[in-house]
Structures are given as structure tokens and as C-alpha cells.
Amino acid sequence: MPSVFATSQLAHIIEEAMIYQCVCPAQVAQHIFSLRELYRYQYACSSARTEDFGVHARIMESVQRTHAEMEQCLSDVLIAEGWDIATLCMPEGLR
């Protein structure tokens, strides 16, 4: 599944947000993690149980769309809050 943020970047955003008690970006990042887990599960299940493939394909299709939207949301939130996009560090004003 295409991704804008690497797993390590999401983990860093969550860590920064939790240290400084600004959890909104962390919540979005956590949901992105969950969507990735759901996608991996559905993919594995579709490989093992081909008779259900239509069900798994439908779920994966929705997860991909939702994942892309949530990654865009996270990007928008980070920009709106003034995070350093290169380092993914929270701005001083939010600390």
C-alpha cells in the first residue's frame, strides 16, 4: 500500500506529541498504524482464503482510500501546527 509517512516517522510524531502533551497528531498517526495493520491482515487472509477474496478486496480498497486521506490529514495538521516537516519536530510554541 502506498505510504507518505514511514513507520519510523509515525513513531517519531507520536513520541513528540506525547512528550509535549499535544496528542492530536499522535491520534492521527496511531490510526494510520491501525489502518496499515488492518490492510496487512486482510492481505494475508485473502492470500490464505481465496474463496473470500471479494470480501477482503473490498475491505482493502476502503482501507487504501482511508489511509491516503488520513496521511493527507496528518500532513495538513503538521503544517497547520508549524511542525518542521524535514525533522518532524514539534514547534516550540506547542511545547
Tell me how crowded residue 67 is: count the other CB atoms within 10 A of its CB.
Answer: 22
Total of domains in the chain: 1
* Domain-located, residue 12: yes
* Domain-located, residue 2: no
Please state, in angstroms and rounded to a whole number, the distance separating the CA atoms of residues 76 and 71.
9
* Domain-located, residue 94: no
Please state, in angstroms and rounded to a whole number, the distance separating the CA atoms of residues 40 and 44.
6
The pTM for the full model equals 0.89
CA dihedral 75, 18, 31, 25 (to 10 degrees): -20
* Domain-located, residue 79: yes
* Domain-located, residue 93: no
Please state, in angstroms and rounded to a whole number, the distance separating the CA atoms of residues 20 and 17.
5
Q: Is a pLDDT exceeding 90 seen at residue 76?
A: yes
What would the pLDDT profile of 28-57 be if each residue is shown by its tens digit? Answer: 999 999 999 999 999 999 888 777 778 999
pLDDT for res 16: 93
**Cβ atoms of residues 70 and 79 within 8 Å:** no
The domain in which residue 73 lies consists of 7-88
- pLDDT confidence bin for 20, thresholds 50/70/90: confident
* Domain-located, residue 95: no
